[in-house]
Amino acid sequence: MLDKTSLNQYLEAQLPAALEMLRQMVGINSFTLNRAGLKHLGQFTADAFVPLGFTAEFVPSTNPKFGDHFVLTRRGCGPKNLALISHLDTVFPPEEEARNHFRWQVEGDRIFGPGTQDIKGGTVMLWLVLKALQTHAPAAFEATTWNLFLNSSEEMLATDFGDVCRAHFDAHTLAALVFEAEGRLGNEHLLAVARKGRAAWRVTATGRGAHAGGKHSHGANAVVQLAQLLPRIAALTDYSRDLTFNVATVTGGTVLNRVPHEAMAEGEFRAFTPEVYQQAKSALLALAGPGEVKAVTDKFPCEIQVEILTECRPWPRNASTDRLFEFWRQAGEELGYPTNLEERGGLSDGNQIWDAVPTLDGLGPWGDNDHCSERSPDGAKLPEFVEQSSFVPKAALNTRAILKLLSHGSN
């Protein structure tokens, strides 16, 4: 096995080049709807991995508003292969970055900037780990086929990237490793072994419009109907089962002298297990049908419609992820980097692939405030940042754990 001191010395020596790569990546805006920026970043990333022997292929998104996904491959001389997952896009449009002066900024151990933690820092982590493997474990590195999958639209929860990954997996794919940021609890490195599923929904109440002065009793008020329904949706939340419903937006009515004929609300729900997720979905869909708000004149009822807009299924806790995590736990013990697991509420590409191959998430560096770009003078609001000092220990941990996986893992 690797000697910790020489591995860490090697990684420390590579860190300046890694951070310079990150600085350049952060300088390229890659908001999900910025197709040109995504192409630029995809090409930059592909070029960064060429010296390691990778070749690039791009796969158009099924949604033409999104950029191309990138797949980088280095063929090995043996049959085993590993999938390494990251994404290119961020949640920050260029105007928002400019408005909030949100750009690469080093302050002590912290580097602020769009994507420093989510997830350009993760892509740079991948590069560090592959460099370490190539130098310190050349036989294992050469024997393995490495597939890097870079999603162009992870932040918009598009599902076609999962199909791209699955099309490349085969019987010799040992695992899919997702380089989203790690969690922290005290000095423990936390990896993600489960993630909630999420459904976005829309509820529409349709009533009957009427003149608010002359024919008030003829109207069936859709706003009143929706207002009665929303507390019932909110009450579907059940913390004891990790199920949350969020009523997020409400619109309805037009002008003040009309009994409103339509009102609409949108929101989402999230759950960890497929069972709870399905029950929640059924409970929501069961609200559809005639409502209790009716016109006085002829009992004309409001009608309630429920639509599921998008779905990302849960990644539940499972035995093959737990087995994979064991390699990281052991590596952490040997290196003196305590490593533990967590189930996370947010989504990742892991949700789309966990049942195709054993999947582990949270292999990136540590930072905080992902998806935030604002900074207030009193420091109460801080934007996304990554901690420089988290790269070397985590890269060492990943390198050691991947070597364990390659020598013990079979699929």
Q: Least CB distance from residue 370 to Zn ion, whole Å?
A: 6
Q: Least CB distance from residue 90 to Zn ion, whole Å?
A: 7
Residue 324 phi/psi, 5-degree rounding, is -65, -45
Question: How far is the CA of 336 from the CAs of 124, 184, 207, 255, 327, in angstroms?
Answer: 23, 15, 64, 66, 14
Question: How far is the CA of 320 from the CAs of 145, 350, 362, in angstroms?
Answer: 21, 13, 16
Q: Which residue's CB is nearer to Zn ion, number 11 or number 126?
A: 126
Q: What is the DSSP letter of 249?
A: E
CA atoms within 13 A on the CB side of 80: 19
* Nearest-CB residue for Zn ion: 118
Reading the block at residue 410, the tokens are 């079979």
Identify whether the C-beta of residue 148 lies closer than 8 Å to the C-beta of residue 72: yes
Q: Least CB distance from residue 348 to Zn ion, whole Å?
A: 8
Q: Which residue's CB is nearer to Zn ion, number 156 or number 356?
A: 156
Q: Least CB distance from residue 155 to Zn ion, whole Å?
A: 5
Q: Least CB distance from residue 347 to Zn ion, whole Å?
A: 9
Q: Least CB distance from residue 342 to Zn ion, whole Å?
A: 17
Q: Which residue's CB is nearer to Zn ion, number 118 or number 387?
A: 118
Identify whether the C-beta of residue 291 lies closer than 8 Å to the C-beta of residue 217: no
Judged by the rule CB under 5 A, the positions of this chain that interact with Zn ion are: 118
Reading the block at residue 193, the tokens are 């072994």
Q: What is the DSSP letter of 90?
A: B
Q: Which residue's CB is nearer to Zn ion, number 224 or number 370?
A: 370
Q: Least CB distance from residue 112 to Zn ion, whole Å?
A: 16
Q: How far apart are CA 25 and CA 88, in angstroms?
A: 10
Q: Which residue's CB is nearer to Zn ion, number 182 or number 225?
A: 182
Q: Least CB distance from residue 397 to Zn ion, whole Å?
A: 22
Question: How far is the CA of 250 from the CAs of 212, 258, 366, 392, in angstroms?
Answer: 22, 18, 36, 47
Residues in the chain: 411
Alpha-helix residue ranges (DSSP H) falling in 53-159: 94-99, 120-136, 138-143
Angle at 212 between CA 207 and CA 217, to 5 degrees: 65
Give the DSSP H/E element, type plus range, for residue 395: helix 391-408
Q: Which residue's CB is nearer to Zn ion, number 246 or number 318?
A: 246
Q: Which residue's CB is nearer to Zn ion, number 118 or number 182?
A: 118
Alpha-helix residue ranges (DSSP H) falling in 88-176: 94-99, 120-136, 138-143, 160-168
Q: Which residue's CB is nearer to Zn ion, number 2 or number 88?
A: 88
